C-alpha cells in the first residue's frame, strides 16, 4: 500500500533562497492538497488541485508561493525569496473524489530558514 510520499523530508536553507518541495499522492487520488503546520498548531490549508487544475488558494499563499501539478500526478510547491516566517512543516495530502473523501497525509517536509 503506497501512501503519500513527500521529499525532501528536511530542508535547511538561508533566508532569501528559493526552495521546492515535491509530493507524490496516492495513485488513484484525483485531489491533492497542501497544508502548512507550525509548532503547536494544527495544519492550515494552503491550496488544492483536482487533477491538474488548481481550484482554491488560501490567503496564506503569498505571491512568493507557487504550486503546480502538471499532468495531474505529482505536485511541487515552490517558495521564492524565503523568509524566517516560512519555517514550518509543509504537508501534502490526497483524496479521492467519491464521498466521503478522507484526506491522507504524507510525512511532510520540514523547512528551516537560517
Partner 1 sequence: TQLLEQSPQFLSIQEGENLTVYCNSSSVFSSLQWYRQEPGEGPVLLVTVVTGGEVKKLKRLTFQFGDARKDSSLHITAAQPGDTGLYLCAGAPGNSGAGSYQLTFGKGTKLSVIP
Contact positions vs partner 1 (CB under 8 A):
4, 6, 31, 33, 35, 40-45, 48, 55-56, 58, 91, 93, 95, 97-108, 110
Rounded least distance, CB 71 to partner 1, Å: 21
Q: Which is nearer to partner 1, 58 or 80 (CB)?
A: 58
Q: How far is the CB of 17 from partner 1 (least distance, A)?
A: 23
**What cell was used for 67?**
504550486
**Minimum distance from CB of 107 to partner 1 (Å)?**
5
Beta bridge partners of 79: 19, 65
Is the Cβ of residue 14 or residue 59 nearer to partner 1 in the bound state? 59
Amino acid at each position: 500500500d503506497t501512501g503519500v510520499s513527500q521529499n525532501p523530508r528536511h530542508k535547511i536553507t538561508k533566508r532569501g533562497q528559493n526552495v521546492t518541495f515535491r509530493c507524490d499522492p496516492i495513485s488513484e487520488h484525483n485531489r491533492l492538497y497542501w497544508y502548512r503546520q507550525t509548532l503547536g498548531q494544527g495544519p492550515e490549508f494552503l491550496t488544492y488541485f483536482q487533477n491538474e487544475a488548481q481550484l482554491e488558494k488560501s490567503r496564506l499563499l503569498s505571491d512568493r508561493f507557487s504550486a503546480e501539478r502538471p499532468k495531474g500526478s505529482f505536485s511541487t510547491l515552490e517558495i521564492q525569496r524565503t523568509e524566517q516566517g516560512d519555517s514550518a512543516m509543509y504537508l501534502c495530502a490526497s483524496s479521492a473524489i467519491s464521498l466521503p473523501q478522507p484526506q491522507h497525509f504524507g510525512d511532510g517536509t520540514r523547512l528551516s530558514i537560517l
